[in-house]
Amino acid sequence: MFTKKWRWISIGVGFLFLVTAPLFLTGYWIRFLTNVFMFGVMAEGFNILAGFCGIPSFGNVVFFGLGAYTTCIFMVQLHQPFIAGVVAGAILSTLFAILLGFPILRLKGHYFAIGTLGLSEATKELVTNLEKITKGSEGISLPVIAGNVNVIYAVFYFTMFGIMISIILFTYWMSKTRLGYAFQAIRSDEEAALVTGINTAWYKTIAWSVCAFFTGLVGGVYAYWTTFINPEGVFSVGITVKMLIMTILGGSGTILGPIIGAFIFEFLSELAWSSFMNVHAAFLGLLFILIVIFMPNGFMQLITQRFSLSSLIAQIKENRI
């Protein structure tokens, strides 16, 4: 059933549904979907970095936080309009990535993962301490936008949706050009890639910066959407883990995988919340474990290949020791 024709049809239907959703869904579900789009963008960014390029970053939330804080500072301290703040946030995140890319991208594997984790924690601490600019632990509060609640929500909905579509298109374009091939070469074997003449440092920095750009962008939009940010909230490791899990759940290295992963994960969280209030957190932990054991290649694999019990078992055997 999951042939190419059906895939395009389902994408089309999905797209149509999402575009018209604000007309018939209530505030909570619009917020829910906006949230899914936001995580979709971040997961997709992570996917470009880790799924395509093989860079195991564990600190992407730092770009989210930087984007959010820059937007708030622009709007509150410098009295700039929202668009300026968001764009500034995205640019700052990208510059941050490029600058810090030089020392950090030289690390490999697990060291890089810990290095990036340390980066997000250190930035969180820095932001908390620079009170004059960031108001530290008090957090920054943006003015609540006056006007019809549903219209405002729809605006944020389509903004996030737009960003999500752009990153999907970017990933699609990238996967078909030299950039994408360079990334995949680096993922497969960095030294071999170096030998064939690919400037790995340069390409890794590009991947890292693109991820930073998009993540910073949604960080900025998030700040205005929620109207309140604080260091703990926008630099939280939990956000990075969610990005990671959504990418894996959907299928890393694929184009639509992370988006689908974002949808599935948020729906599952939703179910867990409504059904098991007391044990939902433990249930979520269990879910992570099950996903990794039974679906390491993600949901996309279910769609693109014929799903059968024997292939599942074969796959588990392959990863197992």
Partner 1 sequence: MKKLFSILIAFTIAILLVGTVFAQDVVRIGCSTSLTGKLAYEGKASKDGNDFYVAMVNRKGGLNIGGKKYKIDVKYYDDESDVNTTTKLVEKLITEDKIDFIYGPYGSGPGFAASAITEKYKKIIMAMSSSRELYERGFKYLFTCVTPAELYFKSVIYCLSQQNPRPKTLALLFKNDLFNKSAADAIPGYCKENGIEIVYNEKFAPGASDFSTELSVIKAKNPDIIVFLSQAEQFILGAKQMKDLKVNPKAIVTGVAVAEPHLVKALGKDAEYLSGPTLWDPTMKYRDDLFGDSQDYSKEFKKIFGYEPSYHAATNSSSCQALGIAMEKAGSLDVERVRNAMVTLDANTFYGRIRFDEKGRITGRTAPLGQILNGKFTIVYPPEIAVAKTVWPKPAWQ
Partner 2 sequence: MLILQNIINGLLLGGLYASVGLGLCLVWGVMNMINLAHGAFIMVGAYVTFWMYHIFKIDPLFTIPFSMAVTFLLGFVAQKYIINFIVKASIFMGLILTFGMEIFLMNVSNLLFSADYRSVTPSYSGAGISLGGILIPYVRLGLCFIALLLTYLLNLFLNKTKTGNAIKATALDKEAAQLVGIHIGKIYTITFAVSCALAGAAGSLIAVITAVSPYMGTIYTFKAALITCLGGLGSIPGLIAGGMAVGLAETLGSYFISPGYKEFIGFVLLVFILILRPEGIMGKKFFAILKQ
- Binding-site string for partner 2 from residue 283 to residue 312, where x marks contact by CB under 8 A and - marks none: -xxxxxx-xxx--x----------------
Q: Which stretch binds partner 1 (CB under 8 A): 109-117, 187-195, 202-210, 277-285?
A: 277-285
Burial class of residue 133 (count of CB atoms within 10 Å of its CB; 0-12, 13-18, 19+): exposed
Among 39, 58, 156, 208, binds partner 2 (CB under 8 A): 58
Give the list of residues 6+ apart from residue 169 with CB closer than 8 angstroms, or none. none
Which CA distances in Å does 256 have to 51, 67, 161, 252, 304?
A: 12, 24, 14, 9, 12
The distance in angstroms from the start CA to the end CA of the chain is 34
Task: Report if residue 278 touches partner 1, rule: CB under 8 A.
Answer: yes
Does residue 23 belong to the site contacting partner 1 (CB under 8 A)? Answer: no
Q: What DSSP letter does each residue of 116-148 carry, written as one string?
A: HHHHHHHHHHHHHH-HHHH-GGG-EEPPPPPS-
Distances (CA, A) of 67 to 97, 152, 234: 12, 21, 9
- Containing H/E element for 273? helix 257-275
Tell which one of 36, 61, 119, 167 touches partner 2 (CB under 8 A).
119
Judged by CB under 8 A, which of 9, 19, 149, 286 binds partner 1?
A: 149
Q: What's the closest the beta carbon of residue 87 comes to partner 1, in angstroms?
A: 23
**Structure token pair of residue 183:** 């990334």
Q: Considering CB distances under 5 to 8 angstroms, the limit depending on partner class, which of partner 1, partner 2, none binds residue 162?
A: none
Tokens at 165, concatenated = 């579509």
Cα distances (Å, whole numbers) of residue 244 to 247, 282, 299: 5, 18, 14
Partner that binds at residue 20, options partner 1, partner 2, none, CB closer than 5 to 8 Å by kind: none
Per-residue tokens: 232: 């703990």
Of 91, 113, 280, 296, the one binding partner 1 (CB under 8 A) is 280
Torsion 124-86-104-43 (CA) sign: positive
Closer to partner 1 at the Cβ: 277 or 289? 277
Position among 125, 138, 232, 270 found at the interface with partner 2 (CB under 8 A): 125
Q: Does 310 help bind partner 1 (rule: CB under 8 A)?
A: no
**Contact residues: partner 2, CB under 8 A:** 50, 56, 58, 103-104, 106-111, 113-115, 117-119, 121-122, 124-126, 128-129, 241, 244-245, 248, 252, 278-279, 281-282, 284-289, 291-293, 296, 316, 318-321
Positions in the binding site for partner 1 (CB under 8 A) = 1, 26-29, 31-32, 35, 125, 128-129, 136-139, 141, 144, 149, 226-228, 230, 232-233, 236, 238-239, 267, 271, 273-275, 277-278, 280-281, 302, 307
